[in-house]
Amino acid sequence: MIANYGYKDGSGDYFIAVDTDKCDGCGRCVEACPGTVFEVVDEDPNDPFREDPVVIVARDKGRKLKYECGPCKPPTNRPALPCVEACPQDAISHSWDR
């Protein structure tokens, strides 16, 4: 499942997509993210029959992604995003650049 966490408002689209078929809940993104956006849960809240751990974006964080992710998205000389880099499964992507 592609889980899109985030929102759209007048200023743009701010979504982090997690491919839960790839994610194994290893938690490396949790360690890598300076904004504590991610959280590993034992059960996917959107898939009641899945019993493996998976990463989610907490609801209160999802509502402020533009700001939470801001520090990792400087306007110039942008390094790779820590969460995307950290994921060995290539399961995380962001919908916006800055």
CB-based burial of residue 74 (10 Å sphere; 0-12 exposed, 13-18 middle, 19+ buried)? exposed
User: Quick check: 7 binds another protein (CB under 8 A)?
Assistant: yes
Phi and psi at 82, nearest 5°, equal: -55, -40
**Quick one: 67 or 74, whose CB is closer to another protein?**
67
The Cα 57–Cα 65 span in angstroms is 10
Q: Give yes or no for residue 9 binding another protein (CB under 8 A).
A: yes
Residues 18-77 that bind another protein (CB under 8 A): 45-49, 59, 63
Chain residues binding another protein by CB under 8 A are 1-4, 6-10, 13, 15, 45-49, 59, 63, 95
